């Protein structure tokens, strides 16, 4: 008696594996597969009523056997006898040929575009052993496809640490497996991404920054909502020079974060290049005149602030009494760490 939860061919369990049920449709569509299966399990007999199944590895094994068999190599007559007589040979051959042609033309290449592996078993980042608990956001997938010509399929997953760190540009620097072939599901997924983009309208609505997803805001600006609002509140001149101060600030942060050309950023936010350049100029002037002096240079701190940050060892070495402690400044001329650009090409050229 055949076990319903086991593969008819290899007798392995199919409870947690992909399987193909042995139905009348299977018999009609994959006639040669069924013949090879019956030949393999002789003298056992099975019914194609949907109660039994074969695992996907066995199905692939039959597929390869059919592909490599010469056309003029007839199947054994003794194996064809158990098959139902109502199956028309001409119709079965046409169905098998049609399926094989679909499998041959199902893959395509898009010149200049690559894709990552379409799997949810591991994180999309190379050599990551964390649990891939999150789907890659749509805005990240669309950004990589438009800017870097790299397609991330819908099934791709990312772990929580990589999702929080938001260092997606590191994906371009890693030696991850890339593929050139695309199927119809990938093309449909790309169309759905652009439909989502068109329905969404403007890329980011900085005037309603609280409604923007935290990860998406950090992806484009490198800041969270609290940091964004702090800069906006400390630069009151933006409100004096424009009615959309949050948008002007957001565009400038996107520009210095991504390093994308003005034409591309203008397209993302549905405005002309001249309008974008005018807004960037306003943001740059307001930040340079009002925000930067309060956070950079020697004038943004008082002597008391410097003294309050003295460490124990420098205070002991450089002296100074407790009543009038010295303001200690240590200068290291090796380098000054700012932040690396998320644009790989721009970073490499500078």
| DSSP string over 145-195 | HHHS-EE--TT-EE-HHHHHHT-TTHHHHS----B-EEEHHHHHHHHHHHH
pLDDT in tens, 102-125: 444 467 888 888 888 887 888 888
Can you tell me the distance from the alpha carbon of 253 to that of 258, in angstroms, rounded to the nearest whole number?
A: 8
pLDDT in tens, 181-238: 888 888 888 898 888 887 776 667 888 888 888 888 888 888 888 999 999 998 988 8
pLDDT in tens, 123-161: 888 788 888 878 888 888 888 888 888 899 888 888 888
Can you tell me the distance from the alpha carbon of 269 to that of 201, in angstroms, rounded to the nearest whole number?
A: 8
pLDDT in tens, 256-305: 888 888 888 888 888 899 999 999 999 999 998 888 888 777 777 778 88
Work out the end-to-end distance of the chain between its first and last CA atoms, rounded to an integer number of angstroms.
Answer: 72
């Amino acid at each position: 008696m055949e076990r319903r939860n086991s593969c008819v061919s290899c007798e392995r369990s199919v409870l947690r594996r992909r399987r193909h049920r042995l139905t009348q449709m299977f018999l009609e569509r994959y006639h040669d597969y069924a013949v090879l299966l019956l030949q393999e399990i002789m003298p056992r007999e099975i019914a194609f009523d949907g109660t039994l199944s074969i695992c996907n590895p066995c199905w692939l094994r039959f597929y390869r056997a059919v592909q490599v068999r010469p056309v003029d190599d007839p199947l054994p007559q003794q194996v064809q006898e158990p098959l139902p007589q109502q199956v028309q040979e001409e119709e079965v051959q046409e169905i098998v040929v049609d399926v094989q042609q679909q499998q041959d033309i199902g893959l395509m290449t898009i010149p200049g575009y690559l894709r990552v592996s379409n799997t949810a078993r591991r994180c999309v980042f190379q050599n990551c052993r964390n649990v891939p608990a999150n789907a890659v956001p749509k805005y990240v997938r669309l950004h990589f496809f438009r800017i870097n010509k790299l397609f991330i399929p819908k099934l791709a997953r990312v772990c929580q640490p990589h999702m929080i760190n938001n260092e997606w540009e590191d994906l371009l620097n890693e030696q991850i497996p890339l593929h050139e072939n695309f199927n119809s599901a990938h093309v449909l997924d790309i169309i759905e991404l652009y439909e989502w983009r068109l329905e969404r309208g403007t890329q980011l609505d900085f005037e309603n920054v609280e409604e923007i997803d935290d990860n998406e805001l950090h992806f484009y600006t490198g800041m969270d909502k609290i940091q964004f609002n702090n800069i906006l509140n400390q630069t009151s001149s933006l409100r004096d020079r424009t009615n959309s101060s949050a948008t002007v600030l957001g565009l400038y942060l996107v520009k210095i974060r991504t390093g994308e050309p003005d034409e591309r950023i203008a397209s993302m936010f549905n405005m002309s290049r001249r309008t974008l350049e005018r807004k960037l100029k306003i943001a740059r002037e307001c930040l340079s005149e009002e925000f930067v002096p309060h956070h950079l240079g020697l004038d943004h701190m008082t002597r008391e602030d410097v003294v309050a940050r003295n460490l124990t060892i420098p205070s002991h070495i450089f002296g100074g009494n407790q009543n009038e402690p010295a303001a200690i400044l240590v200068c290291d001329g090796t380098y000054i760490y700012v932040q690396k650009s998320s644009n790989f090409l721009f970073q490499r050229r500078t």
